[in-house]
């Protein structure tokens, strides 16, 4: 499993006249990697939800899971 992008982020902050952080700048590669990691985590959460809603505690077949995921695309 690859390391989390969070351990490699080096943000540059946008600061207002009062010294308050109001924004952040990230390079495009870091931003894209963050989005991909978020999407992967969302997929894991969705898969866990699907697996936990099996019939009579028996779970679901891979075909049922794939069908549920494909309906959301």
Instruction: List the domain boundaries for the chain.
Output: 5-71
Q: Name the average pLDDT for the chain.
A: 83
Q: Which two tokens stand for residue 61?
A: 């077949």
pLDDT of residue 52: 77
| 8 HSE (CA, 13 A, CB side) | 11
Q: What is the pLDDT of residues 19-52, one digit of tens each?
A: 999 999 999 998 999 999 999 999 999 888 877 7
Neighbours of 22 (CB within 10 A): 9
Contacts of 24 (CB under 8 A, 6+ apart): 11, 12, 13, 14
Question: Collapsing DSSP states into helix, strand and coil, what is residue 20?
Answer: coil
With the CA atoms of 26, 29, 30 and 32 taken in that order, what torsion angle do they form, in degrees rounded to the nearest 10? 100
């Amino acid at each position: 499993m690859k390391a989390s992008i969070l351990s490699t982020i080096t943000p540059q902050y946008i600061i207002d006249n009062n010294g308050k952080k109001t924004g952040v700048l990230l390079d495009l590669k870091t931003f894209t990697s963050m989005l991909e990691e978020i999407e992967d985590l969302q997929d894991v959460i969705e898969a866990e939800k699907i697996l936990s809603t099996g019939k009579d505690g028996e779970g679901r077949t891979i075909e049922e899971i794939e069908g549920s995921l494909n309906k959301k695309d």
